[in-house]
Structure 1
Amino acid sequence: RLYLTAGPAVAHYRWVEQRQRLRAPASEAAAAAEWEALDAYWAPPVIDMLKELKGMYTKYGQMAAGLTSVASKTWSEGLRELEDAVPARPAADVLRTVHEETGDDPKALFAEFADQPLGAASIGQVHAATLRATGERVAVKVQYPDAARRFALDMRTIRTFCAWFAPEQLIILDELTRQLEAEFDYTQEARNLALVDANLRRAGLAPGEVAVPRPIEGLSTRRMLVMEMLPGPKLVDGVRAYAKQIAEREGVSLEQFEAVKRAELDERGVAPRYEGPSARSVSLFAAWLRLKDGLHNTCSVAYDLLVARPLGKPRARRRHTAPPPNAPRIMDALMRVHGHQLLVDGVFQIRMR
């Protein structure tokens, strides 16, 4: 399926690339229109193929979805479908792996174990659970039994395909393969969590700015990782939820609102510097919204008790205004935390002798 679908797609892109190089189109707009038509033609069948093949094919598609500076809008939006395209395995399969890794009955370890996973990926999935010994809510990440074997088979096939159709990608592919191989050892992930937490605490960034989930000692194996539960939505989900409220106030759908904002960004480009409200201003505005809602809801309760209930009138509506995401604070925290991880604790921390 990989060769039958992706092979012709790569060949078509190569042919258009060479043709435009030998005979330039009439204008840049004409060249761009030809590439857009090519994307619209090939993106759907290739993405459907990645969904069907699953495993590392889905993994690479998910990684490519974030390469918005390289992939076109058609490809990046289509590849985002892969983020939720991995079907979950039954909880019974997951609990079987828990038993194999610990030698204990899962019921002896967990007082509760959710049937539906919090998320499913190409090599494993995560379930919410409650530890029987302490009552603590935890996230249990379990690797699929055949994940390592399928990874080796998939990578062999993908590498052969690249050797034939895109040999210039082999260097990148080999490096990605080396990095992904480390993901199959969850004990290493547990050590990384503990190390990152210690580094950020030493720098004064945790727990004030960020929180790192704590691995549960004694319950981390090569194929199972149990860590404390940190509740909350994904950042992108929170931003889109707020954008949906704005879109509704303007009488358009979220998709239409995002399309307009994306077109504005394409036209103006990224601003050289942020000139919007400060983090403090956004925090004060959010506090003002909460105060307004509190006053409104207090008056609503009084109205219900003194007027609506005695006279049989409709109850007053409550108000719950969602505050805007504090974008400047989020970006500042991300830059300081990741900057410290890279420049102080990470790859650039080299001791010269």
Structure 2
Amino acid sequence: MENTLTSVPEHFRAFRIHHDDRGYRSGLEDTRLEDLSEGDLVVRVEWSSINYKDALAATGKGKILRRFPLIGGIDLAGIVVHSDADRFTEGDRVVVTGCGLSETRDGGYSEYQRVDSRDAVHLPDGLSTREAMMLGTAGFTAALCLYRMEANGQTPQAGPIVVTGATGGVGSLAINLLTRAGYEVHAISGKVQAFDWLERLGARQCISRHDLHWGQNPLEKSRWAGGIDTVGGDMLSGISRVIGLWGNVACCGMAGGHGLNTSVYPLILRGVSLLGISSANCPYEIRRVLWDRLANEWKPEALTEIATDEVDLDGMEAVFDQLMAGGAQGRTVVRVAQTSV
């Protein structure tokens, strides 16, 4: 596509990641529309967000990008300025999370971006573009966890839900979302100093991960009716042994390890289901349904307390370092456009 769009400047800023004979590096660069990945929508990106996956990609500490160079950012929300797709017109507000952004195609850390219309969702009226990125992949993942758990029979009446990695983006949003949906929530975190904050988000009980003692039996006394696990590894193994009859555990992270050492006992003696959550390639119709719920009945009430930090494109690197050091709490939004809503 030639740059015949008068609303798009000839050059604009983008955060691009390289890996070549000069090594692994990332930073702001001037770019042009024709340098971007192909797509039938051109979006003026207003907001993006910073996720753990973004920090891994930007720092090179995780194998996220499938090709180089690419613009970082797995999330974006903004305004369509040009459309070759029937479903969208100029001026539409859209949100895109995952779908190969900053993995196989250029991502959201760019003042303008070309995206595939099959990946874009019309932003519901109940969310601004900034609020959409306060949620971002983290909020969408939390919603997908609850969606799959309820599709498999989870109800508030069955008992409390445990959330691990509770101070992270997915964990904190899951607490507030579950509370909004009528569930009692228990939070597990290593950050004892954040327990008051987690209780304000809705956690009925906070547990230090340093005080957990699962026991060594394949099945231990049940403690929770279900769980959302963002940690993986030993945490997920332990939780699987203490979920009650017909409960569900939604697995959506591996900050604590990618291994899983457990047995079939919870599955065949208690009917526990382990639900895999892959938000990046979620089918479009489920995306549409979940964004509508996030704008309405599932909209977290404590968004402004969860997403307390905001940076511009040139302020992201400090946040990446903080995330990699395990010091982050809640969500950070990225103001991409010079003026946005």
Q: TM-score, normalised by structure 1?
A: 0.22
More strand per residue = 2
More helix per residue = 1
Q: TM-score, normalised by structure 2?
A: 0.23
Larger Rg: 1
